[in-house]
Amino acid sequence: MARTAFFWDESSFWHSGGNYALTMPVGGLVQPLAAGGLPESPETKRRLKNLMDVTGLMGELDAQSAASASQDDLRRVHPESYLREFKEMSDAGGGELGLRTPFAGGGFELAALSAGLAKGALYSVLEGRARNAYALSRPPGHHCLPDWPNGFCLLSNLGIAIKAARAAGLVGRVAVVDWDVHHGNGTEAIFIDDPETLTVSLHQEHNYPLDTGDANVVGEGKAKGANINLPLPPGAGHVTYLEAMERIVAPALRRFKPDVIVIACGFDASAFDPLGRMMATAETFAEMTRMVMELADDLCDGRLMMAHEGGYSEVHVPFCGHAVLQQMASSTTAAPDPWVDTLKARQPNARVNAAFSEMLRDLEAFHLG
């Protein structure tokens, strides 16, 4: 039986934002951080791979790299003018385009590789070579708009992968579930008028971007109803995430009947994340993974692909990621979250607040009524 495929490439960990700390350069002004000044550092991702090496889980996965996304692949999502500007700046040693997307020399090629790893993972599932697949790559992709990179995302990895697979005749209906703590604004924008692509984002309300992610953005034209935003209150934890998954995400996917389920898998809803204020544990991610695997089994012969997005805690992301990959591979090789009891004891008492309950009822009425 086909195994869980794991797409990664050491070069992907070499993507660098240079001397940069969000709004000011760190070089020469203050002591540089070990991570180089950018929260989106290689360490959070490399340490997940390292932990899987040490526990032995890597040996149970079908690990491989992939070809970079081609120019044709990139052009299906991004305008020529943006790709040219990005490539020229990358060739000139790097710089920054858009908002919070610094890159060093060679950043264009590394971003194309990151998109290629996502494409490789999706193809491996659609072509039946893998039971399911995970792409551990950087830079991430879910914030990137066609012509405006933002939030560490330089190319839309999932947009590129999905449109390439469609062009190759490999897939029709695709459901994207984004559980990164930030809104999947790029994926939403790319598929906002596409009725064949259901985009769902669970995110901390008013985190990033500040002006997107409202529950009343539901898709446009023929795609009305094919975008679901679930803005969660800060502090939401295990129970709230599972409630949102059970009440909205699972029934919406059952209605949509996708040919494949794609997850924008960010780990920044972790209780330790510096860029989120949520209370998820590794068990939260494992349980959400179990749920989407069950949905995939029921709806699309188990076809499930995940692309790594955000997650900035060097100590917690590896355990959360290990829990997801262990589930995907149905493995007994575990690396239990060392903080799970501490975090469980500190989950919010209120299952949800009143405003959140009302929003869930509204979403149920609109999308599932």
Q: Based on the shown chain and the rule CB under 5 A, indicate whether residue 337 belongs to the binding site for Zn ion.
A: no
Q: Based on the shown chain and the rule CB under 5 A, indicate whether residue 178 belongs to the binding site for Zn ion.
A: no
Residue in the shown chain whose Cβ atom is closest to Zn ion: 310
Give least dist CB 152 to Zn ion, A.
Answer: 8
Q: What whole-number distance in Å separates Cα of residue 337 and Cα of residue 322? A: 9
Q: Based on the shown chain and the rule CB under 5 A, indicate whether residue 40 belongs to the binding site for Zn ion.
A: no
Residue 73 or 309: the one with the smaller Cβ distance to Zn ion is 309
Residue 102 or 266: the one with the smaller Cβ distance to Zn ion is 266
Residue 124 or 229: the one with the smaller Cβ distance to Zn ion is 229
One DSSP character per residue, 321-353 reads HHHHHHHHTT-------TTHHHHHTTS-SSSS-
Q: Determine the interface stretch with Zn ion among 19-27, 108-116, 178-186, 348-356 (rule: CB under 5 A).
A: 178-186
Q: Is 322 a catalytic residue?
A: no
Contact 98, 271 (CB under 8 A): no
Contact 139, 108 (CB under 8 A): no
Contact string 197-216 vs Zn ion (x = CB under 5 A): --------------------
Given 310, 317, 319, 329, the residue binding Zn ion (CB under 5 A): 310
Among the listed residues 281, 249, 248, the one whose alpha carbon sits nearest the alpha carbon of residue 263:
249
Q: Based on the shown chain and the rule CB under 5 A, indicate whether residue 116 belongs to the binding site for Zn ion.
A: no
Name the residue with tokens 């790319």: 190
Q: What whole-number distance in Å separates Cα of residue 102 and Cα of residue 21? A: 10
Torsion, CA 93, CA 99, CA 100, CA 101, rounded to 10: -40
Give least dist CB 116 to Zn ion, A.
Answer: 21
Name the active-site residue from 15, 78, 142, 143: 143
Q: What whole-number distance in Å separates Cα of residue 206 and Cα of residue 217? A: 14
Give least dist CB 145 to Zn ion, A.
Answer: 15
Q: Which residues, in sequence order, are CB contacts of 326 under 8 Å at separation 6+?
A: 57, 286, 333, 334, 335
Percent of the chain as helix, strand, coil, to the nearest 5: 40, 15, 45
Residue 105 or 234: the one with the smaller Cβ distance to Zn ion is 234
Contact string 255-284 vs Zn ion (x = CB under 5 A): -----------x-x----------------
Residue 81 or 211: the one with the smaller Cβ distance to Zn ion is 211
Q: Which amino acid, residue 292?
A: V
Q: Based on the shown chain and the rule CB under 5 A, indicate whether residue 180 belongs to the binding site for Zn ion.
A: yes
Site residues (vs Zn ion, CB under 5 A): 180, 182, 266, 268, 310
Q: Mind telling me the catalytic residues?
A: 143
